[in-house]
Amino acid sequence: MRARIGHHVDLTALSRSVDVDWISQALAATGKASVRRRKLPAEQVVWLVIALALYRHQSIADVAAHLSLALPDEVNPDIAKSALTQARQRLGQAPLAQLFAICAACWDERHQNGRAWRGLTRYAVDGSTLRTSDSEENRAHFGAQSYTSGVVASYPQLRLLTLTALATHLVRDAVFGAYDTNEMLYAKSLVDQVPDHSLTVFDKGFFSASLLLRLQTQGTQRHWLIPAKANCVWERLDQTPGDYRVRMKVSPQARQAEPGLPASWEARAIETTTRHGKKRILLTSLMDTKAYPAKDIVHQYEERWRIETSYRELKQELLGSELTLRSGTPETVCQEVWGALLAYNLVRLEMAEIAVEAEVPPTQLSFTATLHYLRQEWGWMAIEAPGKIPAHLVRLRNRLGDLLLSTKRGRSCPRVVKTLPRKYDQRTVSALK
């Protein structure tokens, strides 16, 4: 059974973390501010898009009605479903992208205080995919996965990369687009937004001299950490056991594509063993062994695995395990993704602020429980007197403070390689009789 929104939700409760000036700034910067009085002005449509992610199983008409988004009109109190669709199309994606950038930077900086590791804020880059509705426009714009057999996926897909804070799991920045575009190209635009005095952790799929040197040489004290690939070749520069410097050659193909790349580059190699007994070598730009001990660096890479749960939270918890985004055009698909990222960060922001009061790491709180109680409390706030709203917020934070995760969650099972689609149907025993 799909959950229903029980009451009209007061936008004061939803918007207390988002400065109204930020919305005005985003609308003005993108030329989308409402010039004439509309029943559904641009400011309200912004909240509609965010609420569509928070209440994923509700129709757009239900969400608009329960949020009381339309301005009162004595002549025509109702608003047509087509008007809601037109309002979203009129708004476009640009204001949501601008608003996300403003909010994400402010919220991340607010909650990085006191959570830096040896003077460095910590981030992780990771990628995933989202499926869009199957329309000619979406298929032409985003493309779809194709297999070696020539079979093309039934639905278009978009590729999404995020820059996520390790301390809070707030998404600092994101980039997404066509499925066929290589993740490395998206990653290059993403690393340009990494703050100074930081450490960014990557999965081995992002191992590239072009990408890592771009991060390291632009800005101030921007460091990286990544596991070495099995086929990595280097020259060992010292014989310190388990923690040594290496020199690697930059491939001729990479230098031809980017003439500014050096002929070789150096890194620090740290040998470690996973909890499953597998040997691993981590490469990093943190060369100072005294300032950055090997054991602490290994711990930072282990923290990266927990970032992967953020996509599960976004796709399964926030979006309700819906396989396909609801929007039908590339512009509204992008708008929907920005709205979902804003909604995800709103939940993570509340978790970070609860954690400050409870004096615990934000990652020790349950995202699922937080989302559940936020939806519940927002509903109750709408039917209470405004003076009682602060008491509800205190109650919400106290209840969530009691729902700390008892132990750190890790990977419960090893990774497996998924079976590729077969070119021919597999015969069963019954079919052969």
pLDDT tens across 316-335, in order? 888 877 778 989 899 999 99
Residue 424: the pLDDT is 56
Quick one: pLDDT band at residue 364, thresholds 50, 70, 90?
confident
What are the helix and strand counts (H, E) for the chain? 16, 9
Joined together, the tokens standing for residue 243 give 């923690």
Residue 395: the pLDDT is 62
C-alpha–C-alpha distance, residues 128 and 281, integer Å: 25
| Arithmetic mean of pLDDT, 423-428 | 54
Residue 386: the pLDDT is 45
pLDDT reading at 14 higher than 90:
no
Distance linking the first and last C-alpha atoms of the chain? 42
Q: Is 185 helix (H, G, I), strand (E, B) or coil?
A: helix
What is this structure's pTM? 0.84
Quick one: pLDDT band at residue 72, thresholds 50, 70, 90?
very low
Please state which CATH number belongs to domain 114-314: 3.90.350.10
Residue 179: the pLDDT is 94
C-alpha–C-alpha distance, residues 27 and 101, integer Å: 13
Domain map (residue ranges) of the chain? 20-94+327-401, 114-314
Report CA dihedral (195, 176, 226, 201) to the nearest 10 degrees: 40
User: CB neighbours of 101 closer than 8 A, spacing ≥ 6?
Assistant: 173
Quick one: pLDDT band at residue 165, thresholds 50, 70, 90?
very high
370 vs 195, which has greater pLDDT?
Answer: 195
Q: Across the chain, what does the average pLDDT equal?
A: 82
Highest mean pLDDT among 6-15, 256-265, 273-282: 256-265
C-alpha–C-alpha distance, residues 395 and 250, integer Å: 57
Residue 348: the pLDDT is 92
| Arithmetic mean of pLDDT, 104-112 | 94
pLDDT reading at 91 higher than 80:
yes
Quick one: pLDDT band at residue 94, thresholds 50, 70, 90?
very high
Joined together, the tokens standing for residue 101 give 């950038």
Write out pLDDT tens, residues 50-62. Answer: 888 888 888 888 8
| Arithmetic mean of pLDDT, 374-403 | 57
Residue 71: the pLDDT is 45
Measured at the CA of 38, the angle between CA 32 and CA 40, to 5 degrees, comes to: 80
pLDDT reading at 31 higher than 90:
no
Residues, the chain, total? Answer: 433
In the 8-state DSSP scheme, what is residue 413?
Answer: S
Residue 357: the pLDDT is 80
Closest CA to 244 of 234, 254, 232, 253: 234
